Amino acid sequence: MLPKTVNFRLRLRQSDKISSRSGKNRQKGERVFANLKVGERRVLSGKRWVWERRVYVVATRPRIDTVSKQQ
């Protein structure tokens, strides 16, 4: 019997390292998503290594009004 999987989401810091698709190179999240504009969202293709786990990575740069409402 296979173990159950647990779905989760984590908020990464801009200093956290994200691997390339091949897994050979790692860059800070800040650099990977540097050209993401306000209100945009980007989904990296395939699983990436983050914190010693292979995960799917999605980034969003929220609008300013959205951030202030959450605080």
Q: Does residue 8 fall inside a structural domain? A: no
Segment 13-42, tens digit of pLDDT = 889 999 988 888 999 988 988 998 998 999
Whole-number Å distance between alpha carbons of 11 and 40: 17
Strand partners, 37: none
So what's the pLDDT on residue 8? 77
Task: Count how many domains the chain has.
Answer: 1
Segment 5-14, tens digit of pLDDT = 887 788 888 8
Whole-number Å distance between alpha carbons of 63 and 37: 9
Residue written as tokens 């799917």? 56
Q: Does residue 56 fall inside a structural domain? A: yes
Domain range spanning residue 26? Answer: 17-70
- Continuous segment of H or E residues that includes residue 41: strand 41-43
DSSP code of residue 57: -
Q: Does residue 4 fall inside a structural domain? A: no
Q: Does residue 1 fall inside a structural domain? A: no
Quote the tokens at residue 40.
């945009």
